[in-house]
Amino acid sequence: MYETILYEVSEGVAVVTLNRPDKFNAFTAVMNKEITDALKQAQKDADVRCIVLTGAGRAFNAGQDLSDVSGGGDVDYGGFLRDRYNPMILQFQKTEKPIIAAVNGVAAGAGMSIALACDIRLASEKASFVNAFVNIGLVPDSGGCYFLPRIVGIGKALELAMTGEKVSAEEALRIGLVNQVYPAESFMEDALAYARKLASLPTKGIGLIKRTMYKGLEMGLEETLEYEAFAQEAAGSTEDHKEGVTAFMEKRAPRFTGR
Ligand code: T3D
């Protein structure tokens, strides 16, 4: 059904695999659209309670396929981003389900940005991150200037963006760029186990946590408190909330259904 990605749903988890391994899974216009579409599909599908984004082969994603752009003044970079990349990044935020980047190898340029746009980053010990834009005289895009300073702090973000230096998985963990690092041999199993765990939790509540937390980044305390009250009303009316309280009172493990 898709040309540049694979999309598979199993045990509550949708796995989106970027699938141009001979090109380090670099982005094409088709891939941008297909990722956006896959996220919309996962959002609509009640059986999907967590999404994993990963790469086929050795790399996670090497950013824009540079053989598609001539690299001169004749490329409409602004239009390029507005038409292709920006709607894709916005779709990560609009998707009210947890999205995990399972970073199996190098994530460079917009490939690093897309990992940053995910809610959680799990890295293979073979993964690395390169804010490659500066190496070709460009500015971090696809949300890189938004997410990177919020995740690692402005000082580190500026350093990574200005030097374009490669960050190892170990260093990424140290600076808070990734949440966990797993051995390369068991990486996808470990990442899927993490995803299945998230998929078994209160999906609607997690969607509201995601929305409220990201909104909180943009709002003052008073507005955030008000939004929390609004979100809590919604969370409080879910079946999973009732089940959580009932299970606690009955001293048993909860059985969340995502409703
Ligand atoms: O229009 C616009 O450009 C605006 C939008 C911009 C968004 C962006 O993402 S800009 C940033 C674009 N990405 C880059 O600049 C990264 C370029 N790649 C690299 O810096 C390195 O390849 C990596 C750090 C990703 C990996 O290095 P390494 O040493 O592990 O591998 P390699 O040998 O450099 O690359 C392996 C193969 O992948 C190689 O192909 P070959 O020679 O084996 O046939 C290489 O050409 C290919 N490849 C890697 N990155 C890209 C790519 N092919 C096309 N586009 C790429 N971005």
pLDDT at residue number 73: 64
Interval 238-254 mean pLDDT:
98
Interval 195-221 mean pLDDT:
98
Q: Is the CB of 106 under 6 A from ligand 1?
A: yes
Distance 177 CA to ligand 1 centre (A): 21
Q: By alpha-carbon position, which residue is closest to atom 39 of ligand 1?
A: 23
Intra-chain end-to-end CA distance of the chain, in Å:
29
Over the range 76-105, which residues count as b (16 or more CB within 10 Å of their CB) and which as e? eeeebbeebbeebbebbbebebbbbbbbbb
User: What percent of the chain is modeled with pLDDT above 70?
Assistant: 98
- Mutational test site, ligand 1, from 66, 80, 129, max ligand atoms within 8 Å of CB: 66
Our measurement of the distance from residue 168's CA atom to the centroid of its chain's CA atoms, rounded to an integer in Å, reads 19
Average pLDDT, the chain: 97
Distance 252 CA to ligand 1 centre (A): 51
**Side chain identity at residue 23, one-letter code:** K
Interval 239-253 mean pLDDT:
98
Q: By alpha-carbon position, which residue is closest to atom 45 of ligand 1?
A: 23
**Side chain identity at residue 127, one-letter code:** A
Interval 221-248 mean pLDDT:
98
- Mutational test site, ligand 1, from 24, 114, 131, 145, max ligand atoms within 8 Å of CB: 24
Q: Is the CB of 63 under 6 A from ligand 1?
A: yes
Q: By alpha-carbon position, which residue is closest to atom 31 of ligand 1?
A: 24
Beta bridge partners of 222: none
**Separation of alpha carbons 167 and 215, rounded Å:** 29
Q: Is the CB of 66 under 6 A from ligand 1?
A: yes
Confidence of residue 1 (pLDDT cuts 50, 70, 90): confident
pLDDT in tens, 7-23: 999 999 999 999 999 99
Interval 227-231 mean pLDDT:
98
Domains and CATH numbers, the chain: 5-199 (3.90.226.10), 203-249 (1.10.12.10)
Interval 163-178 mean pLDDT:
98
Interval 128-134 mean pLDDT:
98
Instruction: Tally Cβ neighbours within 10 Å of residue 163.
Output: 11
pLDDT in tens, 38-85: 999 999 999 999 999 999 999 999 999 999 885 566 788 999 999 999
Distance 240 CA to ligand 1 centre (A): 44
Q: By alpha-carbon position, which residue is closest to atom 55 of ligand 1?
A: 65
Q: Is the CB of 89 under 6 A from ligand 1?
A: no
Distance 56 CA to ligand 1 centre (A): 15
Q: Is the CB of 55 under 6 A from ligand 1?
A: no
Global pTM value: 0.97
Residues making up the chain, counted from first to last: 259
> Given CA atoms 171, 6, 120, 39 in this order, what sign does their dihedral have?
positive
pLDDT at residue number 71: 58
Residue 50: phi, psi to the nearest 5?
-160, 150
Question: Which residues are CB-neighbours of 72 under 8 A, at least 6 positions away?
Answer: none
Q: Is the ipTM of this complex over 0.95?
A: yes
Q: Is the CB of 134 under 6 A from ligand 1?
A: no
pLDDT in tens, 108-117: 999 999 999 9
Query: What is the DSSP annotation of the chain?
Result: --SSEEEEEETTEEEEEE--GGGTT-B-HHHHHHHHHHHHHHHH-TT--EEEEEESTT-SB-SB-GGGS--STTS-HHHHIIIIIHHHHHHHHH--S-EEEEE-SEEETHHHHHHHHSSEEEEETT-EEE-GGGGGT----TTHHHHHHHHH-HHHHHHHHHH--EEEHHHHHHTTS-SEEE-STTHHHHHHHHHHHHHTS-HHHHHHHHHHHHHHHHS-HHHHHHHHHHHHHHHHTSHHHHHHHHHHHTTS-------
